[in-house]
Amino acid sequence: MKLYSFSPTPNNRKIEAFIKHFDLPVEIHSMGFKEQENRTKAYLKMNPMGKAPVLEDGDFTLWESNAILCYLATMFPKTNALPTDPQGRANVDRWLYWQAFHWINMIIAFRNEPEKAAKDLELNLGLLNKQLDDQDYICGELSVVDFAVSPYALGRHGSAIDYTNYPNVQAWLNRCNELKGFVETVFKPSGT
């Protein structure tokens, strides 16, 4: 398998962290933004959206980061990162959809107009804080959800948010930050 990635961004880091955390046999092809490989004919054949990440598994190609996380967790069940019982799986899906819409929009709102994002922060951080009341990870055990959600809060914009009123979220972020996959995908700008 091969991952085409714009490494530093949260949408891509979530997959790289998952691969590295579980030592999965997936080649990571880190693309440069400037080179615009994502605009080539060959790349657009894999993903007509022209975006990364894309996973290539033989003749099969897959785009959308959360779909890729679930595919990897299914192909490598030893990761134990995706429940197979219907309710456990539905619970994971719920949080993945929440991330792809509400969580990402909260981060974007905070980046664009921090003073206007207060309501959004309160709602989303409040519910996440409650979810983490008596468990270390969002769905109990470490799952694809933690890889899907945390990179945005650990990234440039998300890390500027004040999590003081959400101690469970802060503790969970610290926990994620220390996972092997996230330690190994800390972005180091070239020349550092």
Ligand X SMILES: N[C@@H](CCC(=O)N[C@@H](CS)C(=O)NCC(=O)O)C(=O)O
CA distances from 99 to 39, 95, 96, 107 (A): 27, 6, 5, 10
Q: Interface with ligand X includes 136 (CB under 6 A)?
A: no
Provide φ and ψ at 62, rounded to 5°. -140, 130
Q: Interface with ligand X includes 65 (CB under 6 A)?
A: yes
Q: Interface with ligand X includes 5 (CB under 6 A)?
A: no
Structure tokens at 92: 């994971």
Binding mask 33-52 for ligand X (x = CB under 6 A): -----x-----------xxx
Cβ nearer to ligand X, comparing 28 with 166: 28
Query: Read out DSSP for 41-104?
Result: HHHHHH-TT--S-EEEETTEEEESHHHHHHHHHHH-GGG--S--SHHHHHHHHHHHHHIIIIIH
Size of the site for ligand X (CB under 6 A): 11
Q: Interface with ligand X includes 64 (CB under 6 A)?
A: yes
Q: Interface with ligand X includes 54 (CB under 6 A)?
A: no
Cβ nearer to ligand X, comparing 66 with 168: 66
Least distance in Å: CB of 49 to ligand X? 7
Q: Interface with ligand X includes 168 (CB under 6 A)?
A: no
Q: Interface with ligand X includes 6 (CB under 6 A)?
A: yes
CA distance 8 to 168: 26
